[in-house]
Amino acid sequence: MLENVPISHKLNATEVRLPVQTVIRPISDAYHDFRGYAGRLAGGVLKVGDSIRVLPSGQTSTVSAITQYKENKQEAFSPESITVQLADDIDVSRGDVLVGVEGLQPIVSQDLTLIVCWFNEVSLQLGKRYIVRQGTSEHIGIVKKVDYLVNVNTLEYVTEVDNLKMNDIAQLTLHTASPLVFDPYAHNRVMGSLIFIDPDTFETVGAGIIKSGE
């Protein structure tokens, strides 16, 4: 039965999401004025001439060119990796997200509710600073509260919990030092997922899916 189950790729094909991985500025006479923003489309279809918004800054511009290696393209589809040029010289850096001006906008917030699975033998500590990596961006985050722990045997919610042990699954309230640009995981799994990294050991200690933001 498992061999015959149809597999569908649940990529969001409606709202444009392009997390910027790097800014390309070649130092050469041939590309003297070239400034491109490279990344992998996490949703939607992006076309030359489309109006875009840069988040979290909110600046707007128009797509002037799309390239894929040495090929010029008129449009690109998720999950293609592309380089985008904009008509305006605006401030865009790694971790920013290019989104379509039209359609549903992502959430920009420093307060999130998420479901987390804890990976590490060292328990989660409330109030400790963790590196939160979401897409191409990194933030400093503090877990303010464990809303509830999921009993994996009965699926009951256990409240009044103040830490997580290895393999625990729980809902957390997280606050970050800088705004995250995200969609709920149910809407866009790329934009709605993140990992926790211990800043002392640089180990990946947990992974989460975002439910909502305030």
pLDDT tens digit sequence for 172-192: 999 999 999 999 999 999 999
Residue 83 and residue 181 in one domain: no
Residue 6 pLDDT more than 60? Answer: yes
Residue 92 and residue 163 in one domain: no
Chosen domain end from 48, 67, 100: 100
106-162 pLDDT per residue, tens: 999 999 999 999 999 999 999 999 999 999 999 999 999 999 999 988 989 999 888
Segments forming the whole domain that contains residue 131: 107-213
163 occurs within a structural domain = yes
Closest CA to 148 of 139, 140, 157, 156: 157
Q: pLDDT confidence of 26, banded at 50, 70, 90? A: confident
Token pair 């307060």: residue: 111
What's the CATH code of the domain at 150?
2.40.30.10
30-58 pLDDT per residue, tens: 666 788 999 999 999 999 999 999 999 99
146-174 pLDDT per residue, tens: 999 999 889 899 998 888 999 999 999 99
Residue 91 and residue 141 in one domain: no
Provide the pLDDT for residue 213: 83
In which element (H, E) is residue 101 found?
Answer: none
Q: How far apart are CA 158 and CA 50, in angstroms?
A: 48
Q: pLDDT confidence of 63, banded at 50, 70, 90? A: very high
Chosen domain end from 85, 100, 115: 100
5 occurs within a structural domain = no
Phi and psi, residue 151, nearest 5°: -75, 110
Residue 95 and residue 28 in one domain: yes
Residue 57 and residue 87 in one domain: yes
Chosen domain end from 100, 125, 149: 100
6 occurs within a structural domain = no
Number of domains observed in the structure of the chain: 2
Residue 84 and residue 147 in one domain: no
Neighbours of 51 (CB within 10 A): 12
Residue 208 and residue 119 in one domain: yes
